Amino acid sequence: MSDFTHIIFDLDGTLIDSKPGLLNALRYVLRQMGLNHRPEEIIDRLIGPPIQQGMKEVLGFNENQIEVSSRLFRDYYGERGLFEAAVYPGLHILLEELIAQGKKVYVATSKNSVFIPTILRHFELDKYFDDFEASSGKDLQTKAELITKLMDRNRLFPSKDIVMIGDTKFDIVGGKANEISTIAVGYGYGQAGEMEELEPDYFAEDVDDLTEILLG
């Protein structure tokens, strides 16, 4: 058990299993653009970084294709996809206990900021979080930059008493860049080996492991 005072959660793959909605949004994009990629084979690589970055690096899209695909993705996701998800079992209980212990809890996600209030409210998570930071949807921002903005706004200084929890390498790199503790979770969409190579301070295979690390 580590006595963290401020806890920052990633969203997709850490708090909620959002893959069904994201996969359906990707299917919609590919169908509308007349492309025959197999969405099931690439969706995991699109979860984590900003969607524009994924469209470029994973699908090899040019600037025009990135603009069109990102708009189509947001159109589907904003109307239907964001509701096609579920909170990972055990996380509501964990969050309740963290709040009961007086911890400050936050979200840092590369998802577009316009979706976050609706998602947190719909899945009854909004009552737990003191603040969140998300992508503006315009300029590409790294997870490290999002964490920095969140910390600056809340007057948090680099400390091992602050921890970033996430399921991809972007979360671990972002936490380390801000000189805070890191917990990699193995139940999301990242590759365990890739995250372990980055040497997070802790690795939680499932929500029970995460609960043990945070609460003992």
Q: Which amino acid is at 44?
A: D
What the block records as the tokens of 152 is: 């600056």
- The predicted pLDDT at position 99 comes to 97
Domain spans in the chain, listed from the N-terminal domain onward = 6-17+86-215, 19-83
Q: CB of 203 within 8 A of CB of 213?
A: no
Q: Is the dihedral of CA 78, 80, 85, 86 positive or negative?
A: positive
Q: Which two tokens stand for residue 189?
A: 């969409």
- The answer to pTM > 0.85 is yes
Q: Quick one: pLDDT at residue 183?
A: 98
Residue ranges of the chain with pLDDT lower than 50? Answer: none
Check residue 137 and give its pLDDT. Answer: 66
**CATH class for domain 19-83?**
mainly alpha
Determine contact, residues 183/201, Cβ cutoff 8 Å: yes
What pLDDT was estimated at residue 104? 97
Give the pLDDT of residue 138. 63
Residues in Cβ contact with 86 at an 8 Å cutoff, skipping those fewer than 6 apart: 16, 17, 123
Render pLDDT for 159-170 as a digit per residue (tens, 0 to 9): 999 999 999 999
- Block residue for tokens 């499932």: 206
Q: Is-contact 22 179, C-beta < 8 A?
A: no
For the domain made up of 6-17+86-215, the CATH class stated in words is: alpha beta
